[in-house]
Structure 1
Amino acid sequence: MLRLVVLVSGSGTNFADLLQRTKAGRVPAEIIAVGADRACGGIETAAAAGIPTFVEPFSAPREAWSRRVADRVAAFEPDLVVLSGFMRLLSPEAVARFEPALLNTHPAFLPEFPGAHGVRDALAAGVTETGASVIIVDSGVDTGPILAQQRVPIEPDDSPDALHDRIKLVERELLASVITDIADGTIDLADHGLEHRLDRPDTPRTAQ
Structure 2
Amino acid sequence: MESSCRILVLISGNGSNLQAIIDSCYDNLNADVVGVISNNPDAYGLIRAHQNEIDTSCVISREGESREEYDVRLDAAISRYQPDLIVLAGFMRILSPALVERYEGRMVNIHPSLLPLYPGLHTHARAMEAGDSEHGASVHFVIPALDAGPVILQAKVPVYGDDTIETLSERVHEQEHAIYPLVVKWFSQGRLQMKDGRAWLDGELIGPNGYAPD
| Deviation at residue 167 of structure 1 after TM alignment | 0.7
User: Using the alignment, how far apart are the partners of 2:144 and 2:193 within structure 1?
Assistant: 20
Do 1:113 and 1:121's aligned partners in 2 also have CA atoms closer than 8 Å?
A: yes
User: Using the alignment, how far apart are the partners of 2:187 and 2:52 within structure 1?
Assistant: 25
* Corresponding position of 1:109: 114
1:135 to 140, 144, 148: 140
* Corresponding position of 2:30: 28
Do 1:8 and 1:84's aligned partners in 2 also have CA atoms closer than 8 Å?
A: yes
Aligned CA RMSD, in angstroms, stands at 1.6
Letter in 2 for 1:29: A
2:172 to 167, 185, 195: 167
Letter in 1 for 2:90: G
Letter in 2 for 1:161: E
Q: Quick one: higher RCO (CA 8 Å, sep 6+), 1 or 2?
A: 1
TM-score normalised to structure 1 length:
0.87
Do 2:16 and 2:177's aligned partners in 1 also have CA atoms closer than 8 Å?
A: no
SS at match of 1:158: coil
Do 2:17 and 2:180's aligned partners in 1 also have CA atoms closer than 8 Å?
A: no
| Deviation at residue 173 of structure 1 after TM alignment | 1.6
Task: Structure 2: state its 5+ residue gaps.
Answer: 200-214
Alignment deviations for residues 89-141 of structure 1 (CA, whole Å, 9 cap, x no partner)? 11111111111100000110000011022122112222111111000111111
Alignment of 1:16 onto 2:5: no
Do 2:150 and 2:198's aligned partners in 1 also have CA atoms closer than 8 Å?
A: no
User: Using the alignment, how far apart are the partners of 2:195 and 2:147 within structure 1?
Assistant: 19
* Corresponding position of 1:197: none
Alignment deviations for residues 60-100 of structure 1 (CA, whole Å, 9 cap, x no partner)? 21110011111111111010000001111111111111111
User: Using the alignment, how far apart are the partners of 1:124 and 1:37 within structure 2?
Assistant: 31
Task: Structure 1: state its 5+ residue gaps.
Answer: 195-208
SS at match of 1:75: helix
1:8-87 residue pairs with structure 2 within 5 A?
Answer: 8-23=11-26, 25-26=27-28, 28-39=30-41, 40-59=43-62, 60-87=65-92
TM-score normalised to structure 2 length:
0.85
Alignment of 1:150 onto 2:144: no
User: Using the alignment, how far apart are the partners of 1:176 and 1:48 within structure 2?
Assistant: 19
User: Using the alignment, how far apart are the partners of 1:105 and 1:27 within structure 2?
Assistant: 23
SS at match of 2:113: coil
How many residues are matched? 193
User: Using the alignment, how far apart are the partners of 1:193 and 1:112 within structure 2?
Assistant: 18
User: Using the alignment, how far apart are the partners of 2:52 and 2:197 within structure 1?
Assistant: 34
* Corresponding position of 1:204: none
* Corresponding position of 1:126: 131
| Deviation at residue 28 of structure 1 after TM alignment | 3.1
Do 1:8 and 1:36's aligned partners in 2 also have CA atoms closer than 8 Å?
A: yes
